[in-house]
Amino acid sequence: MQYFIGNWKMFGVPRSINILNKINSFSSRDKNRNKYRIIITPPYTLIESFANRFKDKKIMIGSQNCYQKNQFSSDTSAISPYMIKSVGAKYTLVGHSDNRAEGDTNTMLKDKVSFALKNNLKVVFCIGENKSQKRNNKTFKVLKKQLTKVLKKKFDKKSIIVAYEPIWSIGTGKIPNQQDLLKTIIHIKKVLKTIFRSKSPAVLYGGSVDEDNIDMLRKIREIDGFLIGGASKSSKKFIDIIRNYYR
């Protein structure tokens, strides 16, 4: 099963559902439709209406983040996994580099994963090195630490997906070369195998994925799917990514 996840970030109003209508009508007729899953993470404001619209459809809706508490609290503006689940989301991202930059610590991330799983949300846990860590050959060490500090054996591995998103690649048009990316995905899967003491969960790649570079990325069979930012805001680009993947 391949994953094509579209992360809309701070984008979208109610009429943006048209983008998803187009993706839905493509994927419901696509001959490869049983080979992949589409998940879209719109902003909180749109989760409920989108989830209702695509109930029992090919597209599933997720959240871009969740708060590190279970249900209700007195934290102004916070949205808990329980609240997200209650409006129909099936997934949540945790640990996106945008949120790490805003102060998400490993302890917070561990609580987010734990409470999300408790509320039956599947978790897409994001990791990735920055430019200077890459330049100093720290990538493997950084990724291992990000994984081992947060993911624990007691977590249900079947509800966790890991997304490798090098920070220097997000929104820059730059992607890792094929050889480096293959090695990194293998490294991540090895670390995950050690944590869970069994087969690795799915590992995705994210960072400037588009309808052109998918041609190179698809050759790396160890990649179980993609977390797509900018290109997921265009139905044409998102559909072309899937089309070109199965070409």
Active site residues: 96, 165
Of 82 and 133, nearer to ligand 13P (C-beta) is 133
Residue carrying structure tokens 């490993």: 106
Q: Which amino acid is at 21?
A: N
The answer to whether the beta carbons of residues 115 and 121 sit under 8 Å apart is no
Binding of ligand 13P at residue 209 (CB under 6 A)? yes
State the Cα–Cα distance between residues 43 and 188, nearest whole angstrom.
Answer: 28
Cβ 170 to ligand 13P shortest distance, Å: 4
Binding of ligand 13P at residue 165 (CB under 6 A)? yes
Binding of ligand 13P at residue 212 (CB under 6 A)? no
Of 82 and 230, nearer to ligand 13P (C-beta) is 230
Q: Which stretch binds ligand 13P (CB under 6 A): 15-23, 54-62, 70-78, 204-212?
A: 204-212
Binding of ligand 13P at residue 207 (CB under 6 A)? yes
Residue 38 bridge partners (DSSP): 4, 59
Q: Which stretch binds ligand 13P (CB under 6 A): 22-30, 111-119, 152-160, 205-213?
A: 205-213
CB contact set of 5 (below 8 Å; sequence gap of 6+): 38, 39, 40, 41, 62, 91, 124, 163, 204, 206, 225, 226, 227, 228, 232
Residue carrying structure tokens 């949540």: 92
- How many alpha carbons lie under 13 Å from residue 69 in its C-beta half-sphere? 9
Cβ 125 to ligand 13P shortest distance, Å: 12
Residue carrying structure tokens 């808990």: 80
Among 63, 119, 184, 208, binds ligand 13P (CB under 6 A): 208
State the Cα–Cα distance between residues 79 and 71, nearest whole angstrom.
Answer: 9
Binding of ligand 13P at residue 170 (CB under 6 A)? yes
**Positions in 220-239 near ligand 13P (CB under 6 A):** 227-231
Cβ 34 to ligand 13P shortest distance, Å: 25
The answer to whether the beta carbons of residues 44 and 88 sit under 8 Å apart is no
Binding of ligand 13P at residue 92 (CB under 6 A)? no
End-to-end C-alpha distance for the chain, whole angstroms: 16
Does residue 26 sit in helix, strand or coil? helix
Question: How many chain residues interact with ligand 13P (CB under 6 A)?
Answer: 14
Cβ 229 to ligand 13P shortest distance, Å: 2
Among 171, 178, 194, 212, binds ligand 13P (CB under 6 A): 171
What is the binding site for ligand 13P (CB under 6 A)? 7, 96, 165, 170-171, 206-209, 227-231
